């Protein structure tokens, strides 16, 4: 497991998945699940986020745990 900081670049409230740019990375990860415990209104582009990865080689096997 690994916890990384990133920035939300896009969020789909219908699927509750986000596109995230991890800190110090030029690329984006699309389709990262977002915790349903977070209000959709709080997940906006540009917000810093905390992402938990169970397997860093599979971003869909992780979750955005929080935004701040």
DSSP of 1-29? -EEEEEEEEEEETTTTEEEEEETT-SS-E
Domain locations along the chain: 2-54
Please tell me the chain's helix, strand, coil percentages from 3-state DSSP, rounded to the nearest 5: 10, 50, 40
Mean of the pLDDT values across residues 5-15? 98
Give me the pLDDT at residue 38, please: 97
CATH architecture designation of domain 2-54 = Beta Barrel (2.40)
Give me the pLDDT at residue 7, please: 98
Q: How does pLDDT run across 23-65, given as a tens digit for each residue?
A: 999 999 999 999 999 999 999 999 999 999 998 888 788 999 9
pTM for the predicted model, two decimal places: 0.89
Sign for the CA dihedral angle at 36, 37, 38, 39 comes to: positive
């Amino acid at each position: 497991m690994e916890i990384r900081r990133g920035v939300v670049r896009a969020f789909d409230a219908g699927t509750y998945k986000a596109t995230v740019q991890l800190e110090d990375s030029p690329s984006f990860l699309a389709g990262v699940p977002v915790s349903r415990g977070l209000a959709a209104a709080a997940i906006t582009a540009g917000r810093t986020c905390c992402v938990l990865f169970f397997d860093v080689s599979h971003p869909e096997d992780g979750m955005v745990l929080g935004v701040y």
